[in-house]
Structure 1
Amino acid sequence: MKILKPLAIAFLLPFTAEVATAYVPSNISAEAKVILQSDSLKWDAKLPFDQTVKQGKLANGFTYYIRKNTEPEKRVTMYLGVKVGSIVETDKQQGLAHFLEHMNFNGLKHFPKNALVDYLQKAGVRFGSDLNAYTGFDETVYQLPIPSDDPELLKNGLQVMRDWAQDAMLETDEIEKERGIIMEEMRGGRGSMQRMRDKFMPVLMNGSLYANRLPIGTEEVVMGFDPALIRQFHKDWYRPDLQTLIVVGDIDPVAMEAEIKRLFSDMRVEKNPKERKKVGIDLLNKNQFISVTDPEMAYTLGQILIKHKESKVETVGDYRKELMKNIYGSMINARLGELTQSANPPFLQAGVDISEFMGGLDNLTAYFVSKPGQFEDGFKAVVRELDRVDKFGFTESEFKRTVSAYAKSNETSYVERDKRKSDSYVNAYLNHFLKDAPALSSEDRYQITKQLLPTLTLKEVVAIGEEYYVDSNRDVVILAPDSEKDKLPQEAQVNTWFADVDKEQLTAYDDKVSDLPLLSKEPVKGTIKSEKAIDKIGAKEIVLSNGVKVVLKPTNFKNDEILISAFSPGGTSVYSDADYMSASMAGTLVNSSGLGQLNTIEMQKYMTGKQVNISPYISERTEGLSGSSDKEGLKTAFEMIYGYFTEPRIEDDVFQSVMSRQITMLANRENDPNFVFNKNIINTLYGNNIRRNPADKAELDQVKQARALEIYKDRFADASDFTFVIVGSFTEAEIKPYLENYLAALPATNRKEEAKDLKIVEPAKGVEKIVNKGQEAKANVRLSIYGDYTYNDAENMNLAALETILSNRLIERLREEESGVYGTGARASYSKFPTQRYSFNVGFGTSVDKYPSLINSTLDEFRKIKKDGPSQVDLDKFVIEQKRQFEVNQRENRYWLSQISGALQVGRDVTYPTVYLEQLNKVTPATVKAVANKYLKEDQLFKFILLPDQVKK
């Protein structure tokens, strides 16, 4: 289900005379100037293309887009888009588009066998998170972000794209090896949702080809096709007229264009190319209904989908309509959100979206997650709100508030235009090629939106609902656990519910807002007691008159982003098990409620259009706040911080809503094999400890509203041991008044407390635990080692190296050599408090007959690295990856917030990033080998294995 996001794209609106004569900046495109200066707007006027992009097409039909962008510096992102996906496959080719995508990583003209991944890892490119690809119904897309400061690497990166475009080797032995990997990918996706999808997809796709062309394909084809078939598929479809290269980054566009022409101009052109037919989904002009249940489904989902012919966004008029759709969705979702927060919500979650579907269709989708046995209540509640808008529309205050939020989002995007990451540009150009979607420049998008947004009318937005919320081409889809089967409606009953709601005497929506200020009284200003520069990282430590410590790090990484983190020792650890549930829920309950003088709904409306978010929390060992703001919202942010210390609340309705939803969600969770597996793991490691196990109804019933608020107030009663870390686009002069007026005014009792050691540790000796749950013939394996740890910078770095090196080795062996898994990897973690401990985990999914041998292979890799250590090549991959990542991280506000906050909480020097590379260069094969021998202890190994119900060891 798509989530609506304000201003996901720019929107155009009708002109008024006043707007048409508005100031038109000189830095927008000529096309945009014509639009903004027009006396009368032509709705069929084409939207201007981003002129900051160098776009071209070679004689062979190959298209390219090149844009210079220096965020991040010394990096470039390349995408190869192919207008070919699973929809072009024949019955005998089902899955070959996706299979071909895999084969492009298993042998190219200039990178034979697995040389591609190996070469790029040596350059610091991470397989999976950086180097990746995907196959959809209508397209296949490859991505490669690489450093651009190495001419040889940049040249070879382009060669990779050229090889991907047409020079896959498709060797028989590599094809045979890849069958098992794709089979494991397919196996991993099997479960309740896949079984239900097989039943509802034909309905959802109106019986079209899409229902039988899921990109993963079929087991019969994947495991049995003749290699000649995929070679022919490659020859038919991987051709220049169906491909584009997108290059965005810190590069010279002129030189890049010359290289693209040199490399891609000689691509093979078919004399009689296979026709790329456009496959669509026909409207049936009737309503459909399907109800599907499954024994492993953990919740009940209801969906109403109303299909319409696609409205392509090409002109001013098209853009105007897109804005209206989004405004409509935002307003109705706000109303559904209010219902969710009521004392007895009719559903667990709900939403409405008008967006692109597929196959040439758009749709209005309304969905809700039902409470067990209360499907009718949820269904009617969603329909009721849709009908309420149809009958009474929206209020002027709702409309103005939502438009204001979009205007603010437009301003925010524009302010950060020169800090936009290269990745954020790629999809616009990709969709321009694949779907003829618009690609506006930042300047055009901002100026056009700014000029036209105020002209939108409430009447027009309401009319959008009338157009899309209709009684034809409507599908009702119900997905539910088997246990709910007898309580679910049939189609006739659902049709009756639509009619029942239509006959109800609905009343207009009451938009309740408050004109009260957030805080009931102004804080009493404090002072700055001391200041100390931390020159190595460009930061400053400030101590306020009430004892609050603040670390400031001004940056220029963003133009208007300020991140805030605050913490204090204590958390839930200082409360008894009897109080634990109330303590653990206290932060969530306060955060879900209003603040100061505003209740929940009033607070949400008060915050609309503000780029501010402050949230309190109580974790096991700390309590604190986290959030962000822009400069305009700083006063609100600090008011919220002060309010969460001095005027918190847990409202009755919110308490009942949150707790009822929490309890309701327990109903069918035991159906889910993964939940049962994780629960057994936790129980094996920690017994029935209330602080580790997922809460059941009896434990949730222990949460008391009054006690939760009491605990929250206790945690935030004394600010003297709080530390605030503030990072971002501010100056000391700008931020200090807020420190004095708000943070220095926080209550302080100067109590001394520390988090308690709860002495919750894993057993000293490992065991094997097999859990039988689920219908699918697949195994899920988790191997875990726990123990005491020596916490220091060198140990931490070497453990990180061991994690990366073992992950790479396991991918090479379990996936590439043995074709036994789709994905795997090692994960290491460690802690300093309450005691120094570590965990080392390896996880993978596979077939029920392969898991014992794959466990043995994993342990064999453990033993090899303990005996021989890593190779220098393996270590070099880790070092270069870390260096490359560090280069990017240093330009991120969130990295510095995390580093400074984390260091202060464990007593580490906050200037550690300045010696990070020095520590990294101290890692050797011998130091990694020593860490492996110290921590990969097989007597402490836990083997957790999830098998289907019918399979026993």
Structure 2
Amino acid sequence: MHPASRAPRFLALLLPFFLGACAIFGPDRAATLPPEPQQEASQPVADPAPEQQHSASAPANPGPPASIQPTSETPWLYEGSNIPVDRQWRFGVLDNGLRYATRENGVPPDQVSIRIRIDTGSLYESDSERGYAHLLEHLLFRQSRYLGVGETIPTWQRLGATFGNDTNAVTSATQTVFQLDLPEADPAKLDEAFKLLSGMIEAPVINEVNVRTEVPIVLAEKRERGGPNERVANESRDLFFHDQMLAKRPPIGTEETLEAATAEDVEAFYKRWYRPEETVIAVAGDADPYVLARLIEKYFGDWNVEGDVTPEPDFGDPTPPAGVAADNPVGETAVMVEPDLPRSLTYSVMRKWEPVQDTITYNEGLLMDALAQSLITRRLEARARGGGDYLYAQVQQEDVSRSTDATFVSFAPLTEDWQTALADVRAVIADATTNPPTEEELQREISEYDVAFVAAVEEAEVEAGANLADTLINAVDIRETVASPQTVLDIFRGMRDRVTPEAILARTRALFEGDVIRGFYVTPQQGEASAEELRAALQAPVEADGSARIEAKTIDFAQLPKIGTPGTVVADGPLGILGIERVELSNGATALLWPNDAEPGRVAVNVHFGAGLRAFDTKDAPYITLGESALISSGFAGLDQEDIDRLATGRKLGFDFGVDLATFTFSAETRQADLADQLYLFAAKLAFPEWDARPLARAKAGERLSYDNYATSPAGLLNRDLESLIRNGDPRFGTPTPEMVENTSAEGFRKVWEPLLKQGEIEVMIFGDFDRDAAIESLEKTIGALPPREPVDPATFGPRPAAPEADGREVEYHRGDANQAAVVLAWPVGSGPAEISESRQLEILSQIFMNRLFDEMRERAGASYAPQTRVDWPVDDVGGGTFIALAQLRPGDVTAFYDASEKIVADLATNGPTEDELARVTEPLRQTILRASTGNGFWMWQLRGTSRDPTLLKSMASLVEDYSVATPERIKQLAAKYLASRKPLEIAIVPEGTQVP
């Protein structure tokens, strides 16, 4: 059995019962949970025997296609390299020069991921063609050989692919990549997909009508990106890549060149760069790689373009201005004032980009560079945690768009004293370039990388095919190869004897040597800095400061206090689905355990407790946001954040914290070897919380610095205020203002959070590749050893989340570009498990609504690039459910959005959708569920809370049907019930000084 085909088909255990029950008993019985299969339910349905796999797509001639490169030949991707070839890929070259790679991969089952890369991007454009590479990407979706005008997206939807997720395209400075993740890829679908893609790539219809239709859509995309952050991106690109093509080549292009685009000019660009010799196809999926190769031969083999290949443009090299010092070549600097943006300073050491031979020696050097950067960034972080003059700082080497090999240093000064922050950062770096690291520091970083590489080997069998295809395409873009996780681990471990402090010192020095140093500072304060002052600060001598080095200190779990007297299991038995076991411990905690091999090497752990957001009074709202940032970093069991990081060295541990409507959640991904330690971390936070004030102070600083940035665009204000606005201004759902943050304190933080950590029954979920008995023992010593929990008292809850109220129109004003606006419509829906099936059917209505908005606002009017809809139905009966439609658009199009939405609602409530509209939504939704269900994360989300409330399981019986089986009449009823029967809350976000009609 192909090792990449191990992803189990968990839903296959459910579908025969769920869908069969529906077919036999009818919809009125769909919610009745069927009995578990008599087979061993904790295991997935067995994979077919090797000779049975892919029988539907097996070729009559099992031999390799003519274009496949034999194993005796160096594959085209590995020419000039001694990196071991990843033999799971099959490489080939067509007679026309098109290169490809195919690979069998069953993650998720039945999906095939196709990537088509064209070696052209914005750097291949002339001045008058800026934006053409990206415009072409749009035009290929508009009309092509086999697809009429506007048929591409509906066609992919009928094949089960969602637009944006499963089918998309990306244009960068150096490449354009077309992406398709095809679900349920049987031979007929695969053949159709390759045919359609070949027509898009080889024969797009580029005429004046299509160009004039797509240009407004591209301009809408450009408009939605606009604002201060886009201005900073443009100015910084102009500074760092001074006199290089990259400085003036954002892929989105310019308004002037796009509006001037003609079909003749765009077609000339297409003919110049869209050629088989410039094309690479990568395919990874649940199909025979030879079958995939034959489809490439069939549909791309006869693609020929007249004329010679156009040479790649000269992207230019970073060049210092005349007269710079050789030992500190500070060149161009710039200071940009943006009143609503937080302070940020970046300087870069620029070097010429050179093509490389992707050899083992070269990769050993890259790994040493990575270790060097990790050492410096850890020291910079330690300085920030200890009260430095900056909020964060990091170092990153990057080869940028085949234009420069650069080392970037970026940080955020806490105050207007940016010079001190810069000197602080430079002093830490100077120490790293002057003195070798300690052996203890180095071994810590080596251990971190080793854990990551081992995890990649353990999890290789469940690497998604889409990720594998993307990785190969990106390797082509940077002119390197791909390596299996085992090869990466072997190279890393094979170089260990040569990774000495002195070797790291040499690599560190090289990282900060270059042709020119450039600096860019963004500040909200006029007159705070000048380009000359920034240049002088970068030129100033710096003294190495080793005080940020991490002291040698060993912390082991054996040194930490025991949680308490171990508990015992007082009850255990099947949950009633998928062979998952429910366990109850003597202190009242419950656990759901599901050992499975869905994701080898991975163990997902969630701990749910308490009452979540509803436990907060509105006056304590700022502590919600601050808690999400600082609660875990505040420490536990006598450990601060640095101690926790050190404790995790050499282990795969995590600690995420989330505040949901009705519960708090600790979550992490770990492995069997570290599961006991992971459970200890979670239990220790509940048993022995610490209240270090430094993480809180840092979180407060971050909130203060970032708040004004939200008002720089409609999208920012939506992120800041939408959840609060649709709940009548409830501050628990919004972003706290600087004044609210300023009025918090360390004492208040502890007063709010300390009792919440003690309240509410605990539910643990452990899903993945682990030993059940060992997990039980660890649970008894950790979560089971906690004292009995204090009850959650509903009388202390804050107000129930309100539903959107249609009371006129809410208007907010942003300080961004005058051509940007956003509009929202919000209707109240339900919450709780009683009508969960109806909530899923509402998702079908939501998707149909979005498709119609897409047609009205993007395709017909070019008013909005990506209108969206969303259904939020809290499973816990806490209220606040919403149905939302929103879009970013021009201020003058606000009324058009309201009118279009009103028309859509009226028509859906009166006539319902067409059968085709329904199919375009339900099939992609069904495929999304089928694919997601092959991973543990899907089931952890679906089954949370079921150890406490088994009635939640009833809704699982109709899961697939609810999302994929509906009639036009049913959708019409839902539209009438939830949308047409009441006025929505209207929210408009417009520029300051704008009148909303």
Shift of residue 351 of structure 1?
A: 0.5
SS of the residue aligned with 2:82?
coil
State whether residues 804 and 985 of structure 2, in contact with CA within 8 Å, keep that contact through their aligned partners in structure 1. Answer: no
Is it true that 1:659 corresponds to 2:700 in the alignment?
A: yes
How far does residue 506 in structure 1 lie from its aligned partner after superposition?
5.7
TM-superposed deviation, 1:618: 5.0
1:563/1:857 CA distance change after superposition, 3 Å: same
Residue type of the alignment partner of 1:783: V
Alignment of 1:223-302 (within 5 A): 223-284=259-320, 286=324, 287-295=330-338, 297-302=340-345
Could you tell me whether the CA contact under 8 Å between 1:573 and 1:758 is conserved in 2?
yes
Check the 8 A contact 2:364/2:495 in 1, yes or no.
no
Contact 2:653 2:674 in 1 (8 A): yes
Residues 238-271 of structure 1 show CA distances to partners (whole Å, capped at 9, x for unaligned) of 1111111111111112222222222212112323
Whole-angstrom CA distance in 2 between matches of 1:522 and 1:362? 50
Secondary structure of the structure 2 residue equivalent to 1:536 = coil
From 78, 87, 97, the equivalent of 1:51 is 87
Tell me how far apart the structure 1 counterparts of residues 308 and 534 of structure 2 sit (CA, whole Å): 55
- CA shift digits 1:137-169 (9 cap, x unpaired): 221110011025421110011112312321111
State the match for 2:630 in structure 1: 589
Q: Relative to structure 1, is the Cα distance of residues 290 and 727 closer, same or farther in structure 2, using a 3 angstrom cutoff? A: same
Instruction: Name the count of aligned residue pairs.
Output: 910
- Aligned partner of 2:938 in structure 1 is 895
Q: Classify 1:446/1:759 alpha carbon distance in 2 versus 1 (closer, same or farther; 3 Å).
A: closer
Within a 5 Å distance, the mapping from 1:727-746 to structure 2 comes to 727-746=767-786
2:44 alignment partner in structure 1:
none
Bigger mean CA deviation after superposition, 318-327 or 733-742: 733-742
Cα distance in 1, alignment partners of residues 545 and 482 from structure 2 = 46
- Work out whether 1:329 is the aligned partner of 2:373: yes
SS at match of 2:316: coil
Letter in 2 for 1:207: D
1:248 aligns to what SS in structure 2? Answer: strand
TM superposition score normalised by structure 2: 0.86
CA distance 1:101–1:922, change in 2 (3 Å): closer
CA distance in 2, matches of 1:347, 1:500: 20
379-388 or 354-363: bigger deviation: 354-363
**CA positional deviation for 1:543:** 0.9
Quick check: 1:756 aligned with 2:797?
yes
Change in 2 beyond 3 A, CA 1:123/1:802: same
Which residue of structure 2 lines up, in the alignment, with residue 38 of structure 1? none
In structure 2, the CA distance between the partners of 1:669 and 1:587, relative to structure 1 (3 Å rule), is closer
- Which is further off, 276-285 or 578-587? 578-587
Q: Does 1:415 align with 2:453?
A: no
| Matched AA of 1:549 | T
Q: Cα gap change, 1:462/1:707 in structure 2, threshold over 3 Å: closer, same or farther?
A: same
Structure-to-structure mapping, 1:526-925, within 5 angstroms: 526-571=567-612, 573-574=614-615, 576-582=617-623, 585-586=626-627, 588-619=629-660, 621-666=662-707, 674-675=715-716, 685=726, 689-717=730-758, 721-749=761-789, 751=791, 753-754=793-794, 756=797, 758-762=799-803, 764-787=805-828, 789=830, 791-831=834-874, 833-901=876-944, 908-910=951-953, 912-920=955-963, 922-925=965-968
Residue 741 of structure 1, CA deviation: 1.7
- Distance in 2 between residues matched to 1:72 and 1:832, nearest whole Å: 27
Q: Which residue of 1 aligns with 2:144?
A: 108
Counterpart Cα distance in 2 of 1:131 and 1:471: 41
Partner of 1:20: none
Instruction: Answer whether contact 1:179 1:222 (CA < 8 A) is retained.
Output: yes
Please state if 1:90 is matched with 2:121. Answer: no
Decide whether the 8 Å contact of 1:832 with 1:906 is kept in 2.
Answer: no
Range that drifts further, 510-519 or 359-368: 510-519
The SS at the match of 1:389 is helix
Q: How does 1:496-515 map to 2 (within 5 A)?
A: 496=537, 498-502=539-543, 509-515=549-555
* Match of residue 320 from structure 1: 364
CA offsets 1:826-878 (integer angstroms, 9 cap, x no match) = 11112355544431212222223333223312221121111111111111122
Range with greater deviation from structure 2 (592-601 or 704-713):
704-713
CA contact (8 A) 1:554 1:730 kept: yes
Checking the alignment, whether the CA contact within 8 Å between 1:583 and 1:711 is kept in structure 2 is: no
Shift of 1:676: 5.1
Amino acid at match of 1:354: Q
Greater Cα offset, 655-664 or 115-124: 655-664
In the TM superposition, residue 750 of structure 1 has moved relative to its aligned partner by: 5.8
Going from structure 1 to structure 2, the CA distance change for 1:586 and 1:419 (only over 3 Å counts) comes to closer
What residue ranges of structure 1 are gaps of 5+ in the alignment?
1-28, 34-43
1:340 to 375, 378, 384: 384
Which residue of structure 2 aligns with residue 14 of structure 1? none
The Cα of 1:371 is off from its aligned counterpart by 1.8
User: After alignment, is 99-108 or 761-770 more displaced?
Assistant: 761-770
- Alpha-carbon displacement from aligned partner over 1:772-792 (angstroms, at most 9, x marks no partner): 433523232222223352751
Query: For 1:87 and 1:799, how far apart are their aligned partners in 2?
Result: 44
Larger displacement relative to structure 2 (830-839 or 153-162): 830-839
Alpha-carbon deviations, 1:154-196, whole Å to 9, x = none? 0011112312321111233222211111111111122113333
Distance 2:658 2:273 in 1: 53
Q: How far apart, in 2, do the equivalents of 1:865 and 1:145 lie?
A: 30
**Contact residue 75 and residue 147 of structure 1 kept, 8 A:** yes
Q: CA deviation at 1:639?
A: 1.4
Change in Cα spacing, 1:540 to 1:903, as seen in structure 2 (3 Å) is: closer
User: Which of the numbers 514, 526, 529 marks the counterpart of 1:488?
Assistant: 529
Change (3 A) 1:184 1:763: closer
| CA–CA separation in structure 1 for the residues paired with 2:545 and 2:924 | 64
Alpha-carbon distance between aligned partners in 1 of 2:711 and 2:81, rounded to the nearest angstrom: 56
C-alpha contact (below 8 Å) 2:563/2:684 kept by paired residues: no
- Give 1:495's aligned amino acid: A
Deviations 1:654-679 (A, max 9, x none): 33333344344446665566555666
Q: Residues 577 and 230 of structure 1: is their aligned pair in 2 closer, same or farther, counting only changes over 3 Å?
A: closer
The 3 A distance-change label for structure 1 pair 580 and 139 is closer
Partner residue, 1:212: 248
When structure 1 is superposed on structure 2, of 791-800 and 127-136 the one drifting more is 791-800
Letter in 1 for 2:516: N
Deviation string 1:542-601 (CA, Å, 9 cap, x unpaired) is 111111111112221111211122223434544545555456644643301232132221
Pair 117,904 (structure 1): closer, same or farther in 2 beyond 3 Å: farther
Question: 1:611 & 1:32 partners in 2: Cα distance?
Answer: 39
Matched letter for residue 325 of structure 1: D
| Alpha-carbon displacement from aligned partner over 1:368-426 (angstroms, at most 9, x marks no partner) | 11223121222112111101112223211110010011111111111112111112212
Number of the residue aligned with 1:398: 441
Is 1:386–2:426 an aligned residue pair?
no
Aligned-partner Cα distance in 2 for 1:410–1:646: 33
Q: Which runs of 5+ in 2 are unaligned?
A: 1-69, 75-79, 325-329
Tell whether the 8 Å contact from 1:192 to 1:296 is kept in structure 2 after alignment: no
Q: Deviations over 1:29-82 (max 9, x none)?
A: 99999xxxxxxxxxx973233222111111111111111112111111001001
What TM-score do you get using the length of structure 1 for normalisation? 0.90
SS for the counterpart of 2:473 is: helix
> Which of 68, 77, 83 is matched with 2:104 structurally?
68
Give the whole-Å Cα distance in 2 for the aligned partners of 1:362 and 1:556. Answer: 42
Matched AA of 1:48? P
Equivalent pair of 1:680/1:771 in contact (CA under 8 Å): no
* CA distance, structure 1, for counterparts of residue 545 and residue 944 of structure 2: 55
Q: Distance in 2 between matches of 1:683 and 1:551?
A: 34
Q: What CA distance in whole angstroms lies between the structure 2 residues aligned with 1:576 and 1:240?
A: 63
